[in-house]
A and B are shown apart, each in its own frame.
Chain A
């Protein structure tokens, strides 16, 4: 076993340097890789096209506040409670809480506005 480690270490100095360079290149490439799609200029959300870890810098101004899975949405602007969520340049729902730029956008912080029989029922009760 000792021999194995020795021989491995001797032959690997060049390899390690190459490996480190490769990692650095990969990190640079990844930071430049497109991670999100904004469909319309009016949108306040973008769609992740790959998995993005929490605390990842996506653009100059946007850092993720949580993990975003591919296909899921991320706020690209600060959104107030009650403000419309815009995707495809159209209203897709309303924020039910304050949303920070970089937050995951999904059913936990966005409500649909259409087909809300449940809301109607609450009004009827009142």
Chain B
């Protein structure tokens, strides 16, 4: 079985030809936005964030790794890096990684060019040049082992673990069977379900790393003296019938399917192995999606019971409702309805196959609801203070 995608110079496969305008620092956000929004083309995405300066140590490394990872994502055909000129994370630091992939890129700095207006003018010229390059890249048949899918659940309810998540798990198993990769994330939402995942670890090293990450998150709750239910499950989860974090977690891990766990990744780290991997992200949906996109996921599967408009910055996001009510109420946001598993008695295997077919269609170019709404959300998980 095959799908189609864009073969990049370094052998990566993208399923979109996005041109990314990437702001390196909060101070450059407005200028980057004026460039990206100033050209009326569907494939231009502007990435802004509130970081990039006065950060240090592991936190700085994580922000840099995330920005580099998004620029490197195979769905990005060309990248314009917009910096200020005096920030901690410079455009050049991001460009160093992009350069190795032979992906078209340029770095411009507001201080060097001399103000917003001249930078915007220069930026638009570069984007037009990129557009003429990307217009000539044609789709080719590609193997399914080139696909990396990030699986996410947000606004979960009690049906998440009964309908949508188990069906996503079936789709994960099918993709991995074809040699593809699935990233499962949100470490706090593995608390109480680690033993189920841990016994599928490929070796003790992977198992211990998983247990340590989960343990570290639980320690945070101990340190702050809170019942973790203050933060997770969220009030919305509880209003949807979820009672404890353990219950949420056990429902969450179904998304990863049933295959062996091959690797445990840091936030925004690229998998070195195919198959099922876990990434260290928090339960915040956007931070989690952004970490997986920076790790190279080209497609996201996102299940929701309470409903959310969220989408990922450079990875088409397929939204799956856990119940028919929310699918009908928020139909402009949600692509598939796993509520059919209850309402129409469709098996989770059959619905999982339907999700898998949708992945292939979206790879091939079908536009998701989140893409249509330009829901290109982005947030970086911070692990240190701003100095």
Please give the residue numbers on chain A whose beta carbons come within 8 Å of chain B beta carbons, in ascending order.
Answer: 37, 39, 47, 49, 69-73, 85, 87-88, 90-93, 105-107, 110-121
Contact = CB atoms under 8 A, between A and B. Distances in A.
Main secondary structure of the interface of A (DSSP, over half): mixed
Given A92-B250, A106-B241, A112-B228, A117 B223 contact: yes
Given A88-B250, A115-B221, A71 B243 contact: no
A118 B227 contact: yes
B339 to A, nearest CB: 10
B226 to A, nearest CB: 5
Contact of A112 (B161, B222, B227, B342): B227
Given A71-B157, A71-B159, A117-B223, A112 B238 contact: no
Contacts of B45: none
10 contacts: A92-B243, A111-B244, A112-B228, A112-B243, A114-B245, A114-B246, A115-B222, A117-B226, A119-B227, A120-B225
A92 B226 contact: no
A92 B158 contact: no
Interface stretch (B35-43, B133-141, B188-196, B296-304): B188-196
B213 interface: no
A37 B221 CA distance: 33
Given A49-B342, A120-B225, A87 B250 contact: yes
Given A47-B158, A117-B221, 4 more contacts: A71-B240, A88-B247, A92-B192, A115-B229
A92 B330 CA distance: 30
A112 B221 contact: no
A90 B246 CA distance: 9
B162 A110 contact: no
Please list the 5 inter-chain residue pairs (A to B) with the smallest Cβ-Cβ separation, ordered nearest first: A115-B228, A71-B241, A112-B244, A71-B158, A92-B247
A117 B241 contact: no
B249 to A, nearest CB: 8
Contacts of A70: 159, 241, 323, 325
A73 B241 contact: yes
Contacts of B342: 37, 49
B346 to A, nearest CB: 14
A106 B239 CA distance: 10
A97 to B, nearest CB: 14
Given A93-B247, A111-B244, A112-B246, A37 B162 contact: yes
Contacts of A73: 158, 241, 243
Contacts of B159: 47, 70-71
Contacts of A105: 243
B224 interface: yes
Given A90-B193, A90-B196, A118 B226 contact: yes
B248 to A, nearest CB: 9
B73 to A, nearest CB: 33
B158 A118 contact: no
Contacts of A107: 229, 238, 243
A116 B221 contact: yes
Contacts of A71: 157-159, 240-241, 305, 323
